[in-house]
Structure 1
Amino acid sequence: MTETRYIEGEGRYALAEMVGRGGFATVWRARSLKGSLRGRDVAVKVIPVYNEGERSRALREGQIAEGLRHRNIVETLEVIPGDHEIYLVTEYVNGMPLDEAAKSYDIAEIVNSLTQILEALVYAHAQGIIHRDIKPQNALVDDRGRVKLTDFGVAFRAGDTRLTRVGFAVGTPGYIAPEILDGADPTALTDIYAVGATARTLLARQPDEPTPRLKEFVDRTTSPNPAHRPQSAWAAVKLLTGKKAPRGSVSP
């Protein structure tokens, strides 16, 4: 019988089963054993760290994610530094990645999912956060159909020192904006490009023809020229749906 592993921070968490693996990190479903979360399932991302640079990156991911509170972003509950690992405790999303969920989606459901990702970016960009790795695998769909953006491991925060080498492109091939490959700094427009690339991926396996509006959305968001893309996440929402920003909101 496998011995249960416990993680201690402000809360206490019993790791139950591994539910994901990516790069060097693993993600576990866990049960909270004390505090306000007692009895609740959570997710624990376990990030091994072998030097101070890796420790700084992992803690930075946690600090960025901990400051974000939006219905379409996975909530980070606690960041726990260990001797050789960093533990990010987040809400547990009972669902699946968007690339899996979208296999049964129609065009309207794809548009709805893309809109939710963009609304998460409206909020994140207003906080000065660029995600830098938008793709279908980094958006989780819960059992109510709500999309939640996750994995801020390579996010860029305005005012931060770059932790990646100049000339080293961060992100996933196929979703990285061309200007990043040319050495430009990340901006909101690089995230918007990645949302367009996500749309292109989801539509590639769709038997139905996309609407003219959706075709225009993909063409403009994935333009090689950043000036030809929607100039904010709200502008991208408007292009995709015709929906205008709420009165009094700020379009970053």
Structure 2
Amino acid sequence: NDRPIGSGSFGAVYRAFTDRNQFVAVKVVKLSANASPQQLQRAIRNEEKGVRLLSRLNHRNILKFLKTDRDHQGNFCIFTELLSGNSLAGILEEYGVFSEDGIANFTRQCSNVMLTNEGVIKLIDFGLAKEIAASMAANATEVVGTPCFIPPEILDGGNFTDKSDIWSLGCT
């Protein structure tokens, strides 16, 4: 299918049918034309490491990451499970409000979601601590930081970058 099912500032998402006879979502990432080949390769390696870590997560409320690959044009692609439905913001935009039954159904699924004193919703548990703990055990003499917030490139002995901050923010 040549029509995207979604898009954002980092690329477009397409529905694809695999050789394993399953539908998946494929995010085709926009690669920066301003980056040097070395910067581009380093960024892709970091993303591949991140997706490998995310693909090991198994939580009913987290999108399942499958793999990364390059397409025939050399674009970087991230494969995930294909979800049906819409974002809550999209539903509100299209339909206006949720029914009381709908809201009750959502809240029954939210044991890992907190509301802060400032009225901000925070996701608090992804099952990630187990993965980070295992990674830390393998790199125990090299890792310094709060376990649940350490980006995968640091666990793999890489350098701290702006993306490391983004990872930590996402964990928060």
TM-score by length of 1: 0.42
Gaps of 5+ in 1: 1-14, 130-154, 172-185, 192-252
- Among 122, 146, 156, which residue is 2:151 paired with? 156
CA distance in 1, matches of 2:68, 2:169: 26
Aligned to 2:14: 28
Aligned to 1:19: 5
Aligned to 1:61: 50
Cα distance 1:74–1:68, how it changes in 2: closer, same or farther (>3 A)?
Answer: same
Moved over 6 A (4+): none
Matches within 5 A, 1:175-190: 186=168
Aligned to 1:71: 60
Cα distance 1:99–1:115, how it changes in 2: closer, same or farther (>3 A)?
Answer: farther
Aligned to 2:128: 124
Between the two proteins, the alignment pairs up a number of residues equal to 131
Cα distance 1:97–1:63, how it changes in 2: closer, same or farther (>3 A)?
Answer: same
Once the two structures are TM-superposed, the CA of residue 113 in structure 1 deviates from its matched residue by 4.3
Aligned to 2:146: none
CA distance in 2, matches of 1:26, 1:187: 23
Once the two structures are TM-superposed, the CA of residue 16 in structure 1 deviates from its matched residue by 4.6
- Say if 2:98 is the partner of 1:104: yes
What fraction of aligned residue pairs are identical, expressed as a percent?
18
Q: Give the AA of the match of 2:29.
A: I
- Say if 2:166 is the partner of 1:170: yes
Aligned to 1:49: 31
Q: SS where residue 58 of structure 2 aligns?
A: coil
User: Does structure 2 retain, via aligned residues, the 8 Å contact 1:66–1:77?
Assistant: yes
Q: SS where residue 61 of structure 2 aligns?
A: coil
Aligned to 2:76: 86
Once the two structures are TM-superposed, the CA of residue 122 in structure 1 deviates from its matched residue by 4.2
User: Does structure 1 retain, via aligned residues, the 8 Å contact 2:27–2:79?
Assistant: yes
CA distance in 1, matches of 2:25, 2:64: 10
CA distance in 1, matches of 2:51, 2:81: 13
What's the CA shift string for 1:139-190, capped at 9, x where partnerless? Answer: xxxxxxxxxxxxxxxx933725422179xx638xxxxxxxxxxxxxx389x6
Gaps of 5+ in 2: 33-39, 115-122, 134-149
User: Does structure 2 retain, via aligned residues, the 8 Å contact 1:27–1:46?
Assistant: yes
RMSD: 3.5
CA distance in 1, matches of 2:163, 2:64: 29
CA distance in 2, matches of 1:42, 1:165: 26
Cα distance 1:162–1:113, how it changes in 2: closer, same or farther (>3 A)?
Answer: farther
